[in-house]
A and B are shown apart, each in its own frame.
Chain A
């Protein structure tokens, strides 16, 4: 069985030797494979019986042997050759399935013009005539698997490259093309180092000498691929949303509700003191993923302070990325909530405030229930009205309500002499939190609705949400002494800043967020939370542009401070 007709194989394959073929293949990749394999089938007729004979006897993969036989054309004896392969020689497995019979070469040459042919011959010969031993070595180098880790533009690169570990016979190594990429080969430390400056699939030429090299002896070379990734920051495009789309919405928005200090206390106008009242600042920015495609912002927000009742209403909403009209859904939700809350507060305020005071005096379950019931009549009704308005809009346009999917996070709050009453309703992802820096305290007013996978959440527009028990279950309220900030945000902020649901409850994360807002960030963007500072809206909008890898959703944040 070992009677391999390797000589015959040699003749049949002849034409291009392996080295020539590899270079040829590199140069004419794509072109050659198509026709080479048509011919390969003819060639297989010869190769298969030999190969399968070997496979049966030695358990070696057929294709490998075929290749090896080609590679080792200088080995005279078939028997000897086979042993050598079994014991020591590294099989050139990387390039197994490429083999070309002589016929192909003819076909190939026909496709090349004379100049290309000359070029090919020059590179093939490198000006040296190789001995059989050197030829074998050359093939060995070319077949060696050499991979370099991928790099990234403008990010330090350092990769060990010790060619002696690959092939002990090699001593001196140089890389051609490495400097063009911004890298260097450090011979001392055997490392490729530097900061890549050009993205792309670079083809480097590795040149090396054998240890016994002297003038006149060949320098071996081969191609090594090096992939340099672009910096994703440079790839994001910012395409303005076309104004003529349905439900156009500006790519960014900001808001500030200035609530001036008022004089209070004292008696008959004597001894009155200035009481500072909190302001609301909010900003919303289209995410990079939308900007990249010229798609509209889906998030929205709305703010209100009612001077007569002194109630604040703050709403943020995140339209579902996958729903076509969600930008309208979030807008309707925000607007409706503001309107309904305003109306309902006016209507129920006397009872509501009475109940809040009772609840403050005695936080019994009964009192909690009574206060909760009124809160339900305000913000529960507002949430439901938002749903109804969205449904109306959808029906009017003949669209499914689902197309308007949006989350909804809302709070109403008021300062009493005994503290702040804060009521909240929350459906979807994102977060609402009351944060007190000095007291090291944070309270999350609800639970984020998350699924098994990223991006899964619940929406206001889901029928299971618009059930009275479900709405009631989602209400939160309490009385707080005071706080640094009440913050409402969509998942465009909570994802990068808090990452997980568990982290949303961690005070350290809130400290970080607050410091971040106050200027402790990469770009030193600071929001100045001084009382009545209208500039804070623009500052907050600027802050929203922060960079966070993989987090490019729309971002909306509203802060009562």
Chain B
């Protein structure tokens, strides 16, 4: 039993992604998987899960080892809201049940990585705000958010992570670039995380203030 590197991809499938944008995402995703298959570290340790969010939130692929994965069909409704908050709630559940922590008898996984791609902003703002502290508790090795296109709201993503990247358009070249970068981050993931001691410390409870 080896140590796994869990990678969660949260993809926006709301109405605005329908058509060319989502097709471009698929192409980018395929290219990413193909490229990861050429990386021995990824091939031996990466596990990927895909969660899509629009009005509904679905884990379209549970945590699956790269070696055995096949890209599932991604569908987009004609229109509808962007339930990113609900997606993150589902993510927390999945991380709790899928990611293994170390115990004396069991080998823990590497810290999971999270990639979020959206072309809009969370429609379920309350759920979104509420879930952010929960996400922080899950100790992701890295959270990388991608705001694609002119309508994307990077402000709300910044509440979640300081690594927010904006893509100007939602065409295939842009997404290919994004996924290429995801795969580079995943390849580096195993090697760069782990040693930093701060990541082990939970954030202080809200009532605690720093003494001046």
Q: Write the residues of chain A forming the contact surface with B, with a CB cutoff of 8 angstroms.
A: 29-30, 33-34, 37-38, 40-41, 48, 62-63, 93-94, 96-97, 147, 149-150, 152, 199, 201, 225, 227, 229-230, 232-233, 235-236, 288-289, 292-293, 320-323, 405, 450-459, 462, 495, 499-502, 548-552
Contact = CB atoms under 8 A, between A and B. Distances in A.
Contacts of A499: 1, 107
Interface string B15-47: 000111011100100000010011111011100
A455 B193 contact: yes
Contact of A149 (B68, B172, B197): B68
Given A34-B24, A48-B78, A453-B194, 12 more contacts: A30-B27, A33-B20, A62-B78, A235-B38, A322-B195, A322-B196, A405-B195, A451-B102, A452-B139, A453-B111, A455-B190, A500-B107
Q: Most chain-A Cβ atoms within 10 A of its Cβ — which of B105, B110, B194? A: B194
B64 to A, nearest CB: 10
Contact of B20 (A34, A405, A453, A551): A34
A57 B23 CA distance: 29
Contacts of A38: 20
Contacts of A450: 102, 108
A500 B27 contact: no
Q: Most chain-B Cβ atoms within 10 A of its Cβ — which of A63, A94, A149? A: A63
Interface in B58-78: 67-70, 73, 75-76, 78
B184 interface: no
B61 to A, nearest CB: 13
B193 to A, nearest CB: 6
A322 B192 contact: yes
B200 interface: yes
B126 interface: no
Nearest to B111: A453
A263 to B, nearest CB: 47
Nearest to A499: B107
Contacts of B40: 232-233, 235-236, 288, 292
B2 A29 contact: no
B106 interface: yes
A38 B27 CA distance: 17
B89 interface: no
Given A96-B75, A150-B70, A322-B196, A235 B39 contact: yes
B136 interface: no
Contacts of A457: 194-195
B19 A37 contact: yes
A457 B108 CA distance: 12
Contacts of A41: 19
Contacts of B2: 548-551
B195 A459 contact: yes
Nearest to B73: A94
A183 B3 CA distance: 31
Given A230-B37, A232-B44, A323 B195 contact: yes
Contact of A453 (B23, B44, B139, B191): B139
